[in-house]
Amino acid sequence: MTHAPTPGAMQDFALTLDRFLTHAGKWHPTAGVVTAAPDGTTQRIGYADLEMRARAISAALVAQGIGVGDHVATLAWNSQAHVETWYAIMGIGAACHTLNPRLTAAQLADMLGQSQARIVVASADLIPLAQDVLALLDVPPMLLSIDGAAAVDTLDTLVEPDVAAAWGGFDERTPSGLCFTSGTTGRPKGVTYTHRACFLHTLRSLQADVMAITATDRVLAAVPMFHANAWGLPFAVPAVGATLVLPGRATDGANLARLIAVEGVTIAVGVPTVWLGLVEHLDQTGDDVPSLKRVIVGGAPMPPALMERLERRLGVTVQTSWGMTELSPAGTFAPPGMAEREASSSGRPAIGIDLLLTDADGIALPEQREVEGHLRVRGAAVVERYFGQVEPATDATGWFATGDLARIGRDGDLTITGRAKDLIKSGGEWINPAEIEGVVGALPQVSMAAVIGRSDVRWGERPILVVELRDGEDIRDDALLGALRGRVAPWWIPDAVVRLPAMPLAATGKIDKLRLRAEHGQ
């Protein structure tokens, strides 16, 4: 009598985020994290020591009753203390609820009320804001300072010497983080990240045609840790043993230029407005940043003139990308060596995420190339349901509607052509602000451009153009609008030009169109 052979098996190796730091601590112990202080000095630590500190903080949190499924909130800038607190929270199966310090106390209190975080850990200079937030809550959580003396106890006061917590041992689908959307189009919604989703997102980000980070790189994270996991950099950089360079609170051009030069940064990541400040500083001083090889941008459309300026002035390759908080957050990336691409291109999806163009009713377009449609996505790191909601955020077939209008080229290259909610309906016909902004934003005199709808008795809405000019530049209104003739339909041309000394920016660095509409759209 014969028996069927016993099938083989693979080890059950849970995809939890603590593994990135334990790997870095073991195999890249002396590489680590560099943090810029406000006085110009730097703090640095190797991954082995960072892991020890994070495990000690984990033990302190456990002693306070924090465990799997609990929320601990952070209100902090990009720093070593913030990174080790992240791993300390996530390593024991709790979820890190990142709070955006650029929001109001009322907004933050609303978010904390939803997450019911039991502890809030804040940067020393943000303690007053944290106290204002907690004063609005019926049952305020414990408040601790993350990085130094303040009016409250510091996190270190809870840490006992030589006591470290064990990490892992929970399901890889356990929540690891909570981040609320920026709220630029409505009330912020909470997105719950899981260990498995972020682990797979990290592996996708590290591919050669995506971020392509290696152990020899020194990566400047100018994108904030309090929004969309800092695009996954606190996981991806330790995962390969690269050096993570953090600017603290200061992301102005002068501080970033100094940090890049002193630390030999090779890759810099952030929204376009950050790099505008850098290049303008370098133009004023005549300094250079020769170590810098690549600049990765996302979060907002890349003005073509700025992209050309960065590549010419800095001698770097600019990688454009597109993503959302709901995507953990990376969606598409232009590969580092992608030739003949435009600033409007956001690159292609890597394995693990898929794209679909639909009509306004969510019906898939019969042709998916060289047509404009409403963009939907699905994948292992895409939201299925918002925090606290019962109904799914996806349609019946699992696709998430991004709210973006997009075009996919023959080669699979994605171009975001606008936001569905930004469309202006004038006389019963639609006007796409993004197309107008792309033309005006390419003018060498223009630093930033935005188009919003203004109420009109006859047409319902008419577009107006809002611009911020580059320092020392000037251009007449008729020249700004004249650049649009022959490029867009005549009736798309804005009725007025509003000049601002500084474009209002939302908490994530995007142009704040809600504010522009409130102040100039009536």
DSSP 324-383: -GGGSSEEEE--TT--S--TTB--BPPTTEEEEEE-TTSPBPS--SS-EEEEEEEETTS-
CATH level 3 topology of 423-520: GMP Synthetase; Chain A, domain 3 (3.30.300)
Tokens of 301: 């459309």
Look up the CATH number of domain 18-32+45-205.
Answer: 3.40.50.12780
The ranges assigned to domains in the chain are 18-32+45-205, 423-520
The pLDDT mean for the chain works out to 92
Residue 181 bears catalytic tag:
yes
Q: Which of 51, 84, 172, 326 is catalytic?
A: 326
Q: Which of 26, 30, 104, 425 is catalytic?
A: 425
Q: Which of 181, 194, 243, 325 is catalytic?
A: 181
**Residue 255 bridge partners (DSSP):** none
Residue 510 bears catalytic tag:
no
- Mean pLDDT score, 381-402: 96
How far apart are alpha carbons 250 and 36 in whole angstroms?
Answer: 8
Angle subtended at Cα 364 by Cα 360 and Cα 369, rounded to the nearest 5 degrees: 105
More confident residue, 442 or 24: 24
- Mean pLDDT score, 273-302: 92
User: Could you report the per-residue pLDDT of 126-171, keeping only the tens digit for each?
Assistant: 999 999 999 999 999 999 999 876 678 999 899 998 899 999 999 9
Domains 18-32+45-205 and 423-520 agree in fold? no
Confidence of residue 56 (pLDDT cuts 50, 70, 90): very high
**Res. 265: pLDDT tops 80:** yes
Confidence of residue 310 (pLDDT cuts 50, 70, 90): very high
Residue 425 bears catalytic tag:
yes
Its pTM stands at 0.86
**Contact between residue 33 and residue 111 where contact means Cβ atoms under 8 Å apart:** no
- Mean pLDDT score, 300-322: 89
- Mean pLDDT score, 191-206: 98
Q: Which of 157, 397, 430, 491 is catalytic?
A: 430
